[in-house]
Amino acid sequence: MDFAEIRAQAVDTAREQLRNPLSKDEVLIYAYRCLTNAPDALEHWLFALFPQIEPNKARELVKKKETGAHDDQGIGANMDEKGWESLILVCNGKQPKIDALAKHAAPNMHALLGAHATAEIVECAGSLMRLSRMTQRDCMMLGNATLTGNPKNSILFKHELAKTERSLRVLSSRTVLAARLDVYSGNFKGESLRQEVLYAQ
């Protein structure tokens, strides 16, 4: 095999990897970062879809062509309709549809925690899959920048359902369970999980 063939195979492999569609939770993470004005959040989202186009041009392309923007211009990833709706809003200077995206990506977590907390904790974990593999204690500590082992700065500690230490522990374990349901089973038990946390208060 000569150099040209090796190069052609490498290019084809790279293109296939770029074209992998964005998962629902990846779209949620991108949208949440845009909502919280994280630096370069929109540029990173656009780069995932249009790696060959400068970010400002990609933004204008999305604004003009809306959901059809990817049809003839994108060589990167693609995403579902809900993702496009939110990206179009962001490109037009509006807020993304976090509630719809959270409910779409993680319905059990959405019912348990609400949209904003779901987006925040999935973004902090890195993905819904990573969250589903965490222990209850690791989940409880997400968002805690200190190394003291005190969860007082964590995402779940600040949640309205975590009124007592016991309810915080139950909320953490049910959050991991909700993530596992969303990743592996597709069964909806979010409301009953929320009731269990309320009962623990």
pLDDT reading at 130 higher than 80: yes
Identify whether 71 is part of a domain. Answer: yes
Distance CA 38, CA 40 (A): 6
Q: Are 132 and 67 members of one domain?
A: no
- Do 170 and 196 form a contact (C-beta atoms < 8 A)? yes
More confident residue, 1 or 170: 170
Helical axes 41-49 vs 81-91, angle rounded to 10°:
130
More confident residue, 147 or 181: 181
Return the C-alpha torsion angle 170, 172, 177, 181, nearest 10.
130
Q: What is the extent of the structural domain holding 37?
A: 3-100
Identify whether 115 is part of a domain. Answer: no
Q: For residue 200, give the 3-state DSSP assignment.
A: coil
pLDDT reading at 181 higher than 60: yes
More confident residue, 16 or 58: 58
Q: Are 184 and 132 members of one domain?
A: yes
Q: Are 167 and 133 members of one domain?
A: yes
pLDDT reading at 106 higher than 80: yes
Reading the block at residue 11, the tokens are 């290019």
Identify whether 192 is part of a domain. Answer: yes
118-129 average pLDDT score: 96
User: According to the model, what pLDDT value does residue 86 have?
Assistant: 95
Q: Are 84 and 14 members of one domain?
A: yes
- Mean pLDDT lowest among 54-58, 66-70, 129-133, 182-186: 66-70
User: According to the model, what pLDDT value does residue 65 have?
Assistant: 78
- What residue type is assigned to position 2 of the chain? D
State the average pLDDT for the chain: 87
Taking only the tens place, the pLDDT of each residue in 1-41 is 676 666 556 545 555 555 678 999 999 999 999 999 999 99
User: According to the model, what pLDDT value does residue 120 have?
Assistant: 96
Q: Are 150 and 191 members of one domain?
A: yes
Can you give the three-state secondary structure of 126-158, one letter per residue?
Answer: CCHHHHHCCCHHHHHHCCCCCCCCCHHHCCCCC
Identify whether 28 is part of a domain. Answer: yes
More confident residue, 147 or 117: 117
User: According to the model, what pLDDT value does residue 70 have?
Assistant: 74
Q: Are 7 and 96 members of one domain?
A: yes
Identify whether 106 is part of a domain. Answer: no
- Do 151 and 144 form a contact (C-beta atoms < 8 A)? yes
Q: Are 139 and 190 members of one domain?
A: yes
Q: Which residues contact 78 (CB under 8 A, 6 or more apart)?
A: 19, 21, 22, 49, 70
Q: Are 92 and 131 members of one domain?
A: no
- Do 75 and 156 form a contact (C-beta atoms < 8 A)? no
* b (16+ CB within 10 A) / e for 147-186: eeeebeebbbbebebbeeeebbbbbbbbbbbbbbbbbeee
Identify whether 111 is part of a domain. Answer: no
pLDDT reading at 108 higher than 90: yes
Q: How confident is the model at residue 69 (pLDDT cuts 50, 70, 90)?
A: confident
Q: Are 94 and 151 members of one domain?
A: no
Q: Which residues contact 192 (CB under 8 A, 6 or more apart)?
A: none
Domains contained in the chain, number: 2
Taking only the tens place, the pLDDT of each residue in 148-166 is 566 677 899 999 999 899 9
Identify whether 136 is part of a domain. Answer: yes
Identify whether 142 is part of a domain. Answer: yes
Q: Are 188 and 145 members of one domain?
A: yes
End-to-end distance of the chain based on CA atoms, in angstroms? 67
Q: How confident is the model at residue 82 (pLDDT cuts 50, 70, 90)?
A: very high
User: According to the model, what pLDDT value does residue 67 have?
Assistant: 72
Distance CA 78, CA 101 (A): 15
